[in-house]
Amino acid sequence: MIFPLLVTSAVFAGGCFWGTEYVFEHVRGVRSVTSGFARDRVTGTAADLPQAVEAVRIVYDPAVISYKQLLEIFFTVAHDPTSRDRQGPDVGPEYRAVIFVYSSVEAAAAKEYVAELRSAKQFARPIVTELRVLDRFTVAGAFHQDYSARNLTDGYVVQNDLPKLERLRKVFPGLYQEQRAP
């Protein structure tokens, strides 16, 4: 059984943060989305330290949207959970798909949801999205914040980000909102 989470933020890495940010800005109950770089907490040697990955920090109202619903949007709309170190045209370890968690409750919820997806054989290929404990989130520069919203005619945005927003609108009509969260 999963208990309601007490935290009101989530950090997801799903390839380029521009598109992930743009999707979650249009989700009812999301108060803000910030693009940045996330690192996990590691216990190995310095050689084991991972590279920071592009990620978004989502601040949300759990009375309006649940953590599980955020996970559903992340897996269904925001990224391809079967692709390691690649999302669309972006290739490299900085584009790795990761659910970063703050607590054991959040970790349990994420593990349970991924197990549901695997059991239902939701995807044709294995899910490779990782689950890691968040160590640090560093906000990306101003150029990256709201990039998709500010550049709706940019070829990258048209090809990669606008289709995600349309998918959100179609698959989650009750959670989609036209007005973007800041």
What is the predicted pLDDT for the residue at 160? 94
Q: Which three-class secondary structure state does DSSP give residue 130?
A: strand
Burial 92-121 (b: 16+ CB within 10 A, else e): eebbbbbbbbeeebbbebbeebbeebeeee
The CA distance from 143 to 136, in Å, is: 21
Q: Which of 16, 65, 109, 114 is catalytic?
A: 16
8 A C-beta contact, residue 17 and residue 55: yes
| pLDDT the model gives residue 41 | 73
Catalytic-residue membership of 16 = yes
pLDDT value at residue 8: 85
pLDDT at 51: 76
pLDDT (tens, 9 = 90+) of the chain, 182 residues, equals 454 444 489 999 999 999 999 999 999 999 999 999 999 876 444 444 457 899 999 999 999 999 999 999 999 999 999 998 888 889 998 899 999 998 898 999 999 999 999 999 989 999 999 999 999 999 999 999 999 999 999 999 999 999 999 999 999 999 999 999 87
